[in-house]
Amino acid sequence: MSVGPFPFWGLMARVKFNPRTKNGSRRRGNRARLKAEGRPCWICQTFGRYAAIDYSLPARHPAAFEVDELVPVSRWREGGYRSAEECANDYANLAATHRACNQWRGNKSVEEVRAIASGRQRKSAGGRGDLPLPQPWEL
């Protein structure tokens, strides 16, 4: 089977047009800046949970640090951005999260996360909500 002279073009196109990796050095700089600030997890904060992040955890750990976009990149138009790339690289739009919290959030808006958090907190005084990540004292 022939794959043509440039079999990697498909892969290269995908990498090139991923707004999160297009401007790699800027993204790495933003990531380092959030880490240097020792930011807590904004999602745990919204739920009134213990929000500190252990920045030394390996990247695949559920409680590891991840960069999150407050206006999700897939919803950049709603945030008034001119492009997905601008949305992904605007430092004011970035926040720190635990990996598991970020996965739970998906592309919910900040308002949607707040609504879920306030609903859960009314139902149970502990306000643990639906977040999958156990708090440190629950481990």
The residues of the shown chain that bind Zn ion, judged by CB under 5 A, are: 41, 43-44, 98, 101
Rounded Cα distance, 111 and 41, in Å: 16
- Name the minimum Å distance from CB 85 to Zn ion: 26
Q: Which is nearer to Zn ion, 81 or 104 (CB)?
A: 104
Amino acid identity for residue 93 in this structure: N
Q: Dig out the tokens for 132 from the structure.
A: 């999958």
Nearer to Zn ion, 21 or 107 (CB): 107
Cβ 101 to Zn ion shortest distance, Å = 3
HSE (side-chain half, CA atoms, 13 Å) at 52: 4
Smallest distance, Zn ion to C-beta of residue 43, A? 5
Whether the Cβ atoms of residue 76 and residue 84 lie closer than 8 Å to each other: yes
CB distance 63 to 99 below 8 Å: yes
Instruction: Tell me the two tokens of residue 36.
Output: 């240097």
* CB-nearest residue to Zn ion: 41
Nearer to Zn ion, 22 or 31 (CB): 31
State which residue, 84 or 100, has the beta carbon closest to Zn ion. Answer: 100
